[in-house]
Amino acid sequence: MPQQTLAIIKPDAVKKRVVGKIITRIEDEGFTIARLKLVHLSPDEAKGFYAVHKEKKFFSSLTEFMSSGPVVVMALEAEDAIRRWREVMGATDPALAAPGTLRRLYGFSIERNAVHGSDATETAEWEVGYFFKKKP
């Protein structure tokens, strides 16, 4: 059964005008885009999404960044989508991400790292539900 993961093209990448390049890569890697929208998160929406990180020292900076401009939110579908999308993104810190990964190509710093991906089946389900209503 194909799996779903939540992908976000973060404000830094939208501002850099690399949305098209990232979506082309997503399609070339064999993911199906099941849902897609452009949204400008409020600070509270960003805090809600990253609630698991609320104790981290980078939380307020991260949520300010994530609400600083529009983001593109997608539900991606593929076999093993969660693991594969994280592989295409690369390591959290663009400086440590493997050559050719999206974060290496388009990320600026450990915070402004171009893309987000869910990290497990439960979080993927929760994250897709955070942005997209279930189809009737």
Q: Return the SS3 of 92.
A: coil
74/11 Cα distance (integer angstroms): 14
Q: Which of 24, 44, 58, 95 binds ligand ATP (CB under 6 A)?
A: 58
Helices (H), the chain: 11-15, 19-28, 43-49, 59-66, 81-89, 102-106, 121-131
Residue 45 makes contact with ligand ATP by CB under 6 A = no
Q: Of these partners, ligand ATP, Mg ion, none, which one is at the site of residue 92 (CB under 5 to 8 Å by kind)? A: ligand ATP
53 catalytically annotated:
no
- Order of strands across the sheet with 115-117? 32-39, 71-78, 3-9, 115-117
Binders of ligand ATP among residues 74 to 103 (CB under 6 A) are 92
Taking only Cα atoms into account, the Rg of the chain, rounded to an integer number of angstroms, comes to 14
Residues 113-132 that bind Mg ion (CB under 5 A): 119
Q: Which is nearer to Mg ion, 10 or 17 (CB)?
A: 10
113 binds, among Mg ion, ligand ATP, none (CB under 5 to 8 A by kind): ligand ATP
Contact footprint for Mg ion (CB under 5 A): 119
